[in-house]
Amino acid sequence: MRTRTLTATLAFTAVCAALATPARAQTLLEEPRRRQGYYASLGLALAVDHNWHDGDSQGTLAAQLFSLRLGQLLTRRFGLGLLIDGGGGRKDSRRATMFALGLEAQWELARDIAVHGAAGLAAVGVKDESDPDAKLEGPAGAGYTAWLSYDWFLGTRRSGGWALTPVAGARLVPSGGDVALVGMIGLQLTYWTGLRREQLLLPPSEAW
């Protein structure tokens, strides 16, 4: 099982790299758009985690996840980046700990609306703190995340700028007999660098 999930993760990375190959070298002028250049995003999400062990349900826990995303839009619609998130939650005496580190790919479906996918390392551990001998249990290995986002831009910049980014998605972490499914909904604060004036198609009065 671990070999299959690792193979799938490597295949996802290879596909993303192949899609990025045709990216322009930013030598052609582009129409000004808010989602341009590099991006950095900090976020907080409410999460619901459900675990299974050998097919048996282990219950559901609510949690909070803090996230950091860094990357670049390589073409007009396609981008690559890095996703890091972590957090946890508690229900009665049961405590959950979550972590993920992965390569993120995104595609803009419509203006400022994008679909994202990430693959990499992930772990969801649950421990019963009422039992002093209990160990942290749950899947750890390859994790796969998919979500939708909308960038609601602030200010009047023509290229780049600050945005409030609502997100909603899910993560699957399969590892042997352990499986975790995490649903997430949250809000991120995103900054897009935009492109320089000499890279934008602007009226002569605004180009320089």
What does the pLDDT look like over 119-163, one tens digit per residue? 999 999 988 888 887 788 889 999 999 999 999 999 988 889 999
- Residue 4: predicted pLDDT: 56
Q: Tokens 């985690």 appear where?
A: 49
Q: Tokens 């979550």 appear where?
A: 98
The amino acid that residue 73 corresponds to is L
Question: Distance (Å, rounded) from C-alpha 118 to C-alpha 192?
Answer: 20
Q: CATH second-level architecture of 2-15+35-207?
A: Beta Barrel (2.40)
**Phi, psi (5° rounding) for residue 46?**
-90, 135
Radius of gyration of the chain (CA): 20
Q: Model pTM?
A: 0.81
What does the pLDDT look like over 6-27, one tens digit per residue? 555 555 555 555 554 444 444 5
What does the pLDDT look like over 184-208, one tens digit per residue? 999 999 999 988 777 777 666 555 4
- Grouping H, G, I as helix, E, B as strand and the rest as coil, residue 92 is coil
The domain segmentation of the chain, as residue ranges, is 2-15+35-207
Q: Tokens 């993760």 appear where?
A: 9
Q: Tokens 């990216």 appear where?
A: 23
CB contact at 8 A, 86 and 104:
no
Q: Give me the residues paired with residue 1 across strands.
A: none
What does the pLDDT look like over 56-115, one tens digit per residue? 888 899 999 999 999 999 998 999 999 999 999 988 888 889 999 999 999 999 999 999
